[in-house]
Each structure stands twice: as C-alpha cells, then as structure tokens.
Amino acid sequence: MEADIKRIRDMETRMNMALKVIRAMDSALNAFELVQGDIRLLDEYYGSDEWKADFAADEAGLLPEDLKRGVLSEDGLYNLLEDYRYLLRKLNIQND
C-alpha cells in the first residue's frame, strides 16, 4: 500500500507540472501568434532601402541621441529573425 501511495503522489506531481507547462506554453503560443504581423514587417524592413537609409542616418549622427535604435543594430534584428525561424522549425511550422 505504501508503494501505491508513493506512486500516486509521484504521478500527481508529474501531472501538476505538465499542466503548469502546458498552460504556460498555451499562453506563450497565444502571444507568439499576436506578433506574427510585427515579425513579418520587421523581416520586410530589415535590409530594405528604408532600413539602409535609417541606418545611414544613424551612422551620420542625424538621429536624436535618446532614440532607441536596436532595430538598426544589424546583429539585433538579424538574431531576432533567426530566433524566430528557429522556433518555427522547432514547432514544425511552415513560414508563410
């Protein structure tokens, strides 16, 4: 009987952990779905003539110093898009 109780407690712990992770994953996937349009726009922007002009303006010191410009960081935006593609592969989702 003691082994049965131990097994049931163990399985209960596993079930509760799985439920917690599944709920977190569902929430994360909902948020991921919401940013699909933003990611598509960022992908189009990166390497475009607009991005190149914005990058050149930044290099020339024409942008305000207090302007956040992470999007003009070649590595930052590239890494974001690569991370996105990695997640798509990991989730086995085709990139439209």
In this structure, are 43 and 57 located in the same domain? Answer: yes
| Residue range of the domain that includes 5 | 1-34
H-assigned helices in the chain: 2-34, 36-45, 49-59, 74-90
In this structure, are 50 and 70 located in the same domain? Answer: yes
In this structure, are 43 and 53 located in the same domain? Answer: yes
In this structure, are 39 and 21 located in the same domain? Answer: no
Instruction: Please give the tally of structural domains in the chain.
Output: 2
Whether pTM > 0.85 for this model: the answer is no
How does the average pLDDT of the chain come out, rounded? 94
Look at residues 57, 94, 88, 87 and name the one whose alpha carbon lies nearest to residue 72. Answer: 57
pLDDT at residue 95 in the model: 60
- Condensed to tens digits (0 to 9), the pLDDT of residues 11-50 reads 999 999 999 999 999 999 999 999 999 999 999 999 899 9
In this structure, are 10 and 50 located in the same domain? Answer: no
